Amino acid sequence: MTTYELLAAPFVDFGFMRRALVACLALALGSAPVGVLLVLRRMSLVGDAMAHALLPGAALGAAVAGFSLWAMSLGGFLAALAVAVAASWLTQRTAQREDASFTALYLIALAAGVMLVSSRGSSVDLMHLLFGSVLAVDDAALLLVAGVASVSLLALAAAYRPLVVACIDPSWLRQMGAGGWAGTVLLVLAVANLVACFQALGTLMSVGLMMLPATSARFWVARIAPQMAVAALLALLSGVAGLLLSFHGEQASGPAIVLVAGGFYLLSLLFGTREGLLWQGRRGGLA
């Protein structure tokens, strides 16, 4: 097999591969920078909880309107926001920590979503909601993913400094009177991008393309803006490599993309020039 047949032919010869590639590009540009802010604010597990909380809303939207893109997206968006707001309220009103509140609520939401899909649909419907199918992305889903990515980039550009400060020193930003809206904007951006990822990767895999490149980027650069650029690049490379792996190996596309992103994380963990394990060992030996 030639290099052309291995790397280029799938995207040149097949329209569904080109649509999947465009979807991965949009997801990389929109979700990876938001993931960097979530990591900076120590909300990585919160992102995972919100991704799982999409399921009951998407399942309810499918039960009401069939497998309608907009009904499932709106339902998932509202369900994830509801879990986030409820977890924040529980944290403020009880002695329970935020991570415990999110864990309890997302488990309840996930179980409710699975039962709802099982009672109203088939095992195929459940697999589609859990794992998605980026190779089946149509024009409407592409418009949604591209729209979310565009809004995310514009919002990050317009509110970059307050969002960064809200992650580094939220107490100071609250004293300045901007803490509330900055945190809300970050939460809405996170949920919107998870909804976009859900269309391609499903509820179980959607957080992977947001968080794995973001955590990997921290091993290469220290400043936040370059971290966002590196995270977006790693997310795009994960998408391209995952699509090729799923095409040639006849594997599920979503898990393949997230698995490649996990491979980049392990490589960054070992070889990253900023706190990578091998670089730490080398500095220790030189010392």
The closest of 232, 196, 197 to 36, measured between CA atoms, is 232
pLDDT of residue 285: 56
Q: Return d(Cα 234, Cα 227) in angstroms, integer.
A: 10
Q: What is the mean pLDDT of the chain?
A: 84
Which whole number is the average pLDDT over 97-110?
80
- Cβ(98)–Cβ(46) below 8 Å: yes
**Least confident interval from 87-96, 140-149, 193-202:** 87-96
Kindly report the CATH number assigned to the domain that includes residue 181: 1.10.3470.10
- Cβ(28)–Cβ(232) below 8 Å: yes
Give the total number of structural domains in the chain: 1
Higher-pLDDT residue of 209, 43: 209
Q: What is the pLDDT of residues 230-263, one digit of tens each?
A: 999 999 999 999 999 999 988 888 889 999 999 9
**Enclosing domain of residue 126:** 3-286
- Written as six digits, the tokens of 151 are 């809004």
118 pLDDT tier (thresholds 50, 70, 90) = confident
What does the chain look like in DSSP terms, one character per residue?
--HIIIIIHHHHH-HHHHHHHHHHHHHHHHHHHHHHHHHHTT-HHHHHHHHHHHHHHHHHHHHHHSS-HHHHHHHHHHHHHHHHHHHHHHHHHSS--HHHHHHHHHHHHHHHHHHHHHHHS-HHHHHHHHH--GGG--HHHHHHHHHHHHHHHHHHHHSHHHHHHHHH-HHHHHHTT-HHHHHHHHHHHHHHHHHHHHHHHHHHHTTHHHHHHHHHHTTT--SHHHHHHHHHHHHHHHHHHHHHHHHHHT--HHHHHHHHHHHHHHHHHHH-TTT-HHHHHHHHHH-
Total-model pTM: 0.87
pLDDT of residue 163: 86
